[in-house]
Each structure stands twice: as C-alpha cells, then as structure tokens.
Amino acid sequence: MTVPIPVGIAGVGHSVPDRVIDNDWFTQFVDTSDEWIVQRTGISQRRWLEDGEKLSDHFAACGKAALEQAGVLPSEVDLVIIGTVSPDYLVPSVACIVQDKLGCEKAGAFDINAGCAGFLYTLSVGRQFIASGAYKNVLVLGGEALSRITDIHDRGTVVLFADGCGGVLLRRHDDCEQGLIEDLTLGSDGSGYHFITRPVGGSYQSITQEDLAEGNHLLRMQGRDVYRFAVDQMTGLMEWAMDGQDISELGWVIPHQMNKRILETATARLEIPPEKVYINIDRFGNTSAGTVPICLSELSAHNKLEKNSLLVMAAFGAGLAWAGARIRW
C-alpha cells in the first residue's frame, strides 16, 4: 500500500530477561530431552522472567533504547503502541504503563492483540499515523511474557515459548533517512481461531476452580494444524515481499521465530540462501510478538544492516492473523 508521507525506522531496541532456561530444565515436568527439543524446534535455550519481574519494565527498556538511538526525547513521542497477548494486566493496557515509565507525557497509548503477528500489526498502524501527517514520533513495540501463560505440563507448548520484547521508533523517512517501510500486508482467517487460544478467562467464560486445576486458563495450541498452516503462510508472505524485487538486493529475511524447521522449509521453497535468513530461536525461543523486533535489534547492534538493502519480515499467529513487511534500509 502506498502512503502520502514515507515512513522510516529511526531507532531500534530490545530487552530480554537475564534468566536462562535450557532444555534439560523441562525434564522435571514433561517427558522430553535436549535432543528431542532441538531436533523438532531448533531451540536450545530461552529467556524467562523471574518471579516478580514485569514485562512492562522490558518494554520500557527497549523503548528507551530505540529513542536514544533515534535521538528523540520521551517528551517528543506522540503515541505508544504495543503488540502483545501477555500484558502485565488485562486492564489497563501495558502501553499506558510503559508510556508512564518512559515519561512520554504527551503520548497516547494502546495495545494490539494479534498474537505472533503483533509487532507487524503495530508497525502497520503506527505507520499510518505518521503517513497521514497526524504525528511525528510513534513508538512501536512488540513482545511477550509467555512463560506466565504457558502450561508447564504441556510438552507441545512449554518448550517453545519465551519472554522478551523489541521495538522501533517511527518517524518521517526524511527525518531519519533509514528503514523506509516500502510496503505492508495484513491478513487473517478467524475460522482457525481455536488453533491457538486461552480457553477461559475472557468475558465469555470466567475462570473456575476446576479450570485452574485443569489448566484451562493457560495457552493451548493445536500443533499439527498450526505447523501445516505456518509453512504455507510464511512461504506466501515471503513470496509477496519479494515479488518484483531483485534477490541480489536482499539483505535479510527476518521471520517470526516459531520453529526452525518451519523457517528452513519455507525459505528453501523460495530458494532463499540460508545465510540471508536471520535466526535466533536457538537462543531466545519463540517470544511471539517479540521475535521480529528482537531480530532487527540484534542485526542493528551488530552493524549487519546495510544501507539500501531489502529487509523482508513475515509473521503469523493466533487469530489466525498474519502480516508481512518490506523495508528498504
């Protein structure tokens, strides 16, 4: 989609907990092993919050890093948007908490729930506020505290999910001259909403003592259905992003880090060189809405973002919702 005012990424940042959980740790709860987890997911370790640690503190840390890199003061931020399904509280939005922690006293704030596609959804929404001329500085963050909503006795999910977040500051491209957002696409298929869900705890069904005992208030995922959908959807998103583009200009494919096997299958279908696909799932696991911005922030921190190269981002998740982005760095 074209926009009246070109929008760029002025700064990036990420923050993850210090606590490292390796694969062997799970053997006390479920029938698994390091070899089993690595072969099926590509994950060797992940970061989890400590007891009493808040996701909002990490959102504030990565937001601060993005602002500092962009050279923008918190008082200059017009809007804070956060993509997450695991905020500190159901009410209020974690974006309001982060707005206060950062001192963005003039900014509006709200959350977006789009599962693992949450960051790219927030990126799309934030881009429109700048492109329309309504705002100058929009802080877009994505991340999760999935360890807090995952069933420790569910082998299919507990070894996958992790905690962490990342984000960017959006400005007019003329003001930052990097990270031009060339195109974005959003999609959804609500008929698959039950593939990834927290069955109770919303307005439809409150939590009972029986639900707590059975873990119905925690995340549930139909892994086989999600896997089949993921391969096709990730392939389609990358095809969309590269349509009409010169493969020689590709800097990085930055995919949602859901499963290393899915990523390898999808990129192999498109004959994308493996060295062009950024993968950190082995170290951070699946942080849902946090994966794409954490990857981008790591690339920035290691000076691996070349001027004028193409960045292809793709993510899908609960909803089912998916999103893609093409960025000219």
Q: Which residues are catalytic?
A: 116, 256, 286
Separation of alpha carbons 27 and 39, rounded Å: 16
Burial class (CB in 10 A: 0-12, 13-18, 19+), 246: exposed
Q: What pLDDT is recorded for position 213?
A: 79
| Numbered ranges of CATH 3.40.47.10 in the chain | 7-177, 181-278+304-328
**What pLDDT score was predicted for residue 219?**
76
- Structure tokens given for 76: 């200059």
Q: What is the pLDDT of residue 274?
A: 86
Q: At what angle do helices 55-70 and 291-301 cross, to 10 degrees?
A: 40
- Fold annotation for 7-177: Peroxisomal Thiolase; Chain A, domain 1 (3.40.47)
Per-residue pLDDT, 1 = 56
Spatial separation of the C-alpha atoms in residues 235 and 232, rounded to whole Å: 5
| Interval 241-250: pLDDT, tens | 888 888 888 9
Confidence (pLDDT) at 138: 98
CATH class of residue range 181-278+304-328: alpha beta
User: Which stretches in the chain have pLDDT values below 70?
Assistant: 1-3, 223
Q: Kindly report the CA angle at 110 between 203 and 294, in degrees rounded to 5?
A: 105
